[in-house]
Amino acid sequence: MKTEREVHLKVRRQESPDDLSSWEEFRVTVPPSQTVMELLQRLKLKPITADGLPTTPVVFDASCTSAMCGACAMLINGRVRMACTTLVDMIKEPIILEPLRSFPVVRDLMVDRDAMFEALKNMRLWTEIDGWSDAGSGPRKTPAQQEWSAMLSRCTMCGCCCEASPQYHARSPFVGPHVMAHVARCNREPNGVIDKTKRLTALMQPGGLADSDEGCSDVCPQKIPLDRVTAGLNWEVTAFSVRRFFHG
């Protein structure tokens, strides 16, 4: 049986959004098969740098600790991953932790992902209802439709796809690859079809379309096939714009 060992950890730290970042190194003793999140939690028990200086515990977002909420996405050795599912034993040392680059840093590894939610607001991802009345049971979905919506609704808004997309950065109007999953889901909902053209029109605005997927689907912790979804939506938008050109 393997015993505890010392792990070399490097964290990019930043006091507040306006501060400059700096590196801090740690040596943390961990038992086998621990996740990066457990490593960070262990650090709180002894917040002392590798040089022996006391410091503040590393600030990071975490909620469910079981890959359901998407809060703990960060760059681990340069790759975007979830801290709660990445095993310390499986990655190279020193383990380098950085905040996601696509979003403004709040503090240390915590980032502000509001832009992802703002992007969803413009896409009409809801069904308009006029007043409240008992409209009976809703339309039925085929098992295939159900599976499609269930697969797309797994999106946790973790931001991994935005991080992987070269098109998503501070000076780009691109709404983000995650939006495609949400739009694709709503467009195929029996009730969502009604506003489909409005969503496609929104996607035709600057920053609406994704050029290519560039590994977004590879990094998605929920395994949403964003490449297929994006390609499908791009076809739909193309067909829609041609139709609109001829028929108004």
Which pair of structure tokens corresponds to residue 5?
């060992």
Least distance (Å) between residue 13 CB and another protein: 12
DSSP state of 68: S
Which pair of structure tokens corresponds to residue 107?
């503090």
Q: Which is nearer to another protein, 66 or 212 (CB)?
A: 66
Least distance (Å) between residue 171 CB and another protein: 25
Residue 73 in contact with residue 158, Cβ under 8 Å? yes
Least distance (Å) between residue 63 CB and another protein: 5
Residues binding another protein (CB under 8 A) = 15-16, 41, 44-47, 56-57, 59, 63-66, 106-107, 110
Q: Which is nearer to another protein, 27 or 107 (CB)?
A: 107
- Can you tell me the distance from the alpha carbon of 100 to that of 98, in angstroms, rounded to the nearest whole number? 7
Q: Which is nearer to another protein, 64 or 242 (CB)?
A: 64
Residue 40 in contact with residue 64, Cβ under 8 Å? no
- Can you tell me the distance from the alpha carbon of 215 to that of 176, in angstroms, rounded to the nearest whole number? 13
Least distance (Å) between residue 81 CB and another protein: 20
- Can you tell me the distance from the alpha carbon of 30 to that of 89, in angstroms, rounded to the nearest whole number? 10
- Can you tell me the distance from the alpha carbon of 138 to that of 242, in angstroms, rounded to the nearest whole number? 33
Q: Which is nearer to another protein, 1 or 45 (CB)?
A: 45
- Can you tell me the distance from the alpha carbon of 28 to that of 38, in angstroms, rounded to the nearest whole number? 11
Least distance (Å) between residue 57 CB and another protein: 5
Q: Which is nearer to another protein, 46 or 228 (CB)?
A: 46
Least distance (Å) between residue 234 CB and another protein: 37
Residue 75 in contact with residue 99, Cβ under 8 Å? yes
Q: Is 216 helix (H, G, I), strand (E, B) or coil?
A: helix
Least distance (Å) between residue 200 CB and another protein: 34
DSSP string, 176-189: -HHHHHHHHHHHHS
Burial class (CB in 10 A: 0-12, 13-18, 19+), 27: middle
